[in-house]
Amino acid sequence: MTKRLRALREARRVAVCAILGVVAMAAGGAGGSCGMSHPNGENDGPEASLRRRMVREQIVARGVEDPRVLDAMERVPRHLFVPEDLRARAYDDGPLPIGGGQTISQPYIVAFMSEALRTRPGDRVLEIGTGSGYQAAVLATLVAQVYSIEIRPDLARQAADRLQKLGYGNVMVRTGDGHLGWPEQAPFDAIIVTAAPTELPQRLVEQLRPGGRMVIPIGLEEGDQRLVRITRTETGVERDTLLPVRFVPMTGGPGRTD
């Protein structure tokens, strides 16, 4: 399909959706279910079929099987979380740059980490490293409330804007150093860290409830990072090593707030 034809079709779809929305509202409903701003993303169009393929070929093929996670990966419009000039590559099997030397993780890694967190629908989850907001949106589809901390104010602002526009009302983003966590909202059922520290941040462990899980890459930037799951027990923590990975380093550090 040509670009122009696709644009025309999209314009027609939006117009139809607008009419349906008005009708649904007049009938006392909550509005139409189509449109880009629905928190569950788009269910049709060319991107939806790219997402179904991404889930099948990159995620299920590598062993992720939690149906709730697969469903979330099918719903969240990843192409709206990458810079416009990279949209055509949004569903490729790899990470993409999002500016400032940072990256949006490979879809498989987002799915793997989401599954490894073992979330339940009522959970409250803390994310460190908001970046584009994509991982936060996937989690927001899975749990009741997501809190996300980003150290770079520009990225935090953009991600918060994007999440709000796309209708993810259950994500709160704040600028800060993730090493400190978000004590006012603790304890959390789960914590996901998407930048790699060299050691496990103790403040984060303290903000997990007993039984809570943290999925975090630990290690040096040059390689040798491992994705680890920490489970808080009544007396300490259990640690499972899951996968070799490569994440951008977690900057800041204990005692710093920049």
CA nearest to 143, candidates 166, 125, 126: 125
Catalytic residue, from 49, 105, 132, 148: name it.
105
Query: What DSSP string runs through 197-222?
Result: -SS--HHHHHTEEEEEEEEEEES-TT
Query: Is 215:227 a contact under the CB 8 Å cutoff?
Result: yes
Q: Clarify whether 49 is annotated catalytic.
A: no
Q: For the sheet containing 225-232, what is the strand order?
A: 171-175, 145-150, 124-128, 188-193, 208-218, 225-232, 237-245
Cα distance between residue 228 and residue 67, in whole Å: 22
Contacts with ligand SAH, 206-245, as mask; x by CB under 6 A: ----------------------------------------
Query: What DSSP string runs through 222-256?
Result: TS-EEEEEEEE-SSSEEEEEEEEE--PBP-S-TT-
Options 51, 179, 213, 229; binder of ligand SAH; rule CB under 6 A: 179
Which residues in the 124-163 window bind ligand SAH by CB under 6 A?
Answer: 128-129, 131-132, 134-135, 149-152, 155
Which residues in the 81-110 window bind ligand SAH by CB under 6 A?
Answer: 102-105
Query: Is 104:95 a contact under the CB 8 Å cutoff?
Result: yes
User: What would you measure as the largest C-alpha separation in the chain, in angstroms?
Assistant: 62
- Judged by CB, which is closer to ligand SAH: 58, or 135? 135
Minimum Å gap between C-beta 163 and ligand SAH is: 11
Q: What is the DSSP letter of 117?
A: T
Angle at which helices 67-75 and 46-54 pack, to 10 degrees? 150
- Judged by CB, which is closer to ligand SAH: 20, or 86? 86
Options 164, 185, 231, 251; binder of ligand SAH; rule CB under 6 A: 251
Q: Is 77 one of the binding residues for ligand SAH (CB under 6 A)?
A: no
Options 96, 143, 195, 215; binder of ligand SAH; rule CB under 6 A: 195
Minimum Å gap between C-beta 53 and ligand SAH is: 20
- Judged by CB, which is closer to ligand SAH: 152, or 229? 152
Six token digits for residue 24 = 């649904």
Minimum Å gap between C-beta 122 and ligand SAH is: 22
- Judged by CB, which is closer to ligand SAH: 104, or 214? 104
Minimum Å gap between C-beta 168 and ligand SAH is: 12
Could you give the residue numbers annotated as active site?
105
Which residues make up the interface to ligand SAH (CB under 6 A)?
102-105, 128-129, 131-132, 134-135, 149-152, 155, 177-179, 194-195, 248, 250-252
